[in-house]
């Protein structure tokens, strides 16, 4: 089996358990199929079954035949599972327990599950959503640093904290293209680690948005008074302070969440779904097969 986890910051491909990683994720404004093909070109492998955990679907799996044709071209696949990455995260992290899986990388998505009921919150992309995620944090941090450099705000400490990022911004050929998006995502970790008033305000606001995203995902499948498991995964989830802030704000919203360690990741979830869920789960899972 070949399993793929495509995110905004990179791509991982598991071939019979051996994982190949690349920094070539889905670029802003790029189709998911193009992002996949750029990664598939570097892989020499064959498998009749391919399972795909994908960012950029916004909770709706469509045109599964296109993914089958791509995977058939590169891997000889005859069946493909196309999975919204939020559902793959839920399957990998909670293994069927009632709860919410919050995936926190360059973007943000929360998927809730309670029996047969599924929900999807945020995952709307950086223009209109992904509040509290890597792009959201990094773009706001660098925006404040640029404002301080201009003298529009009084936060001189940001000039030292974001010195490298300011230089990278100046070198951008386009200030609103894909390279700018990647720079914003790369700034997120520094925003989380800076620990000064101006960045702490951003972090606290982001944690608040993420708490509301989690609670909204659960309320679509369960009661606010009902206990549920919560996992937080993705690159930014490794920041303990951010995890704690998110969880504390969830509790202030009255939700009875139990923060637990994820049993697995998106790749694990994609593999589990491919082996155990052979039918479509609209709108977040779709199968395509050569008859």
Give the pLDDT score at 86: 85
Contact 142, 165 (CB under 8 A): yes
Q: Which residue has the tokens 């948005």?
A: 209
Q: Which residue has the tokens 């404002």?
A: 147
Exposed, middle or buried, 83 (CB in 10 Å: 0-12/13-18/19+)?
Answer: buried
pLDDT bin (cut points 50, 70, 90) of residue 115 is confident
Q: Which residue has the higher pLDDT, 59 or 166?
A: 166
Exposed, middle or buried, 108 (CB in 10 Å: 0-12/13-18/19+)?
Answer: buried
Using the predicted structure, report yes or no on whether residue 48 has a pLDDT greater than 90: yes
pLDDT in tens, 233-247: 888 999 999 999 999
Alpha-carbon distances, residue 129 vs 125, 134, 214, 288 (angstroms): 5, 12, 14, 29
pLDDT bin (cut points 50, 70, 90) of residue 220 is very high
Contact 246, 211 (CB under 8 A): yes
Distance, in Å, from the CA atom of 231 to the CA atom of 211, rounded to the nearest integer, reads: 12
pLDDT bin (cut points 50, 70, 90) of residue 152 is very high
Crossing angle between the packed helical segments 134-150 and 163-171, to the nearest 10 degrees = 90
Classify 152 as helix, strand or coil.
coil
| Residues 174, 11, 114: CA angle, nearest 5 degrees | 115
pLDDT bin (cut points 50, 70, 90) of residue 120 is very high
With a pLDDT cut of 70, the percent of the chain lying above it is: 100
Give the pLDDT score at 234: 85
Mean pLDDT for 132-158 is: 96
Taking the model in full, what pTM does it have?
A: 0.82
């Amino acid at each position: 089996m070949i399993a793929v986890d495509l995110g905004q910051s990179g791509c991982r491909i598991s071939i019979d358990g051996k994982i190949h990683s690349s920094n070539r994720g889905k670029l802003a404004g790029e189709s998911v199929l193009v992002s996949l093909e750029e990664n598939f070109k570097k892989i020499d492998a064959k498998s009749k079954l391919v399972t795909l955990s994908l960012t950029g679907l916004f909770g709706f799996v469509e045109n599964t035949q296109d993914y089958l044709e791509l995977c058939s071209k590169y891997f000889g696949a005859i069946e493909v599972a196309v999975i919204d990455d939020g559902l793959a995260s839920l399957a990998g992290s909670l293994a069927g327990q009632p709860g919410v899986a919050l995936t926190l990388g360059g973007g943000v998505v929360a998927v809730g599950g309670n029996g047969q009921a599924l929900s999807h919150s945020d995952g709307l992309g950086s223009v209109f959503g992904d509040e509290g995620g890597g792009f959201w944090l990094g773009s706001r941090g660098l925006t404040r640093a640029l404002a301080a450099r201009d003298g529009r705000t009084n936060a001189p400490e940001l000039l030292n904290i974001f010195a490298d990022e300011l230089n990278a911004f100046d070198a951008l050929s386009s200030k609103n293209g894909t390279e700018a998006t990647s720079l914003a995502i790369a700034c997120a970790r520094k925003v989380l680690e800076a620990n000064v008033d101006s960045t702490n305000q951003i972090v606290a606001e982001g944690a608040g948005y993420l708490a509301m995203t989690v609670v909204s995902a659960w309320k679509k499948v369960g009661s606010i008074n009902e206990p549920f498991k919560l996992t937080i995964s993705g690159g930014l989830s490794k920041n303990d302070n951010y995890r704690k802030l998110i969880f504390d704000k969830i509790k202030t919203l009255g939700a009875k969440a139990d923060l637990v360690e994820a049993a697995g990741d998106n790749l694990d979830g994609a593999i589990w779904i491919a082996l155990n869920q052979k039918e479509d789960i609209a709108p977040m899972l779709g199968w395509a097969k050569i008859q």
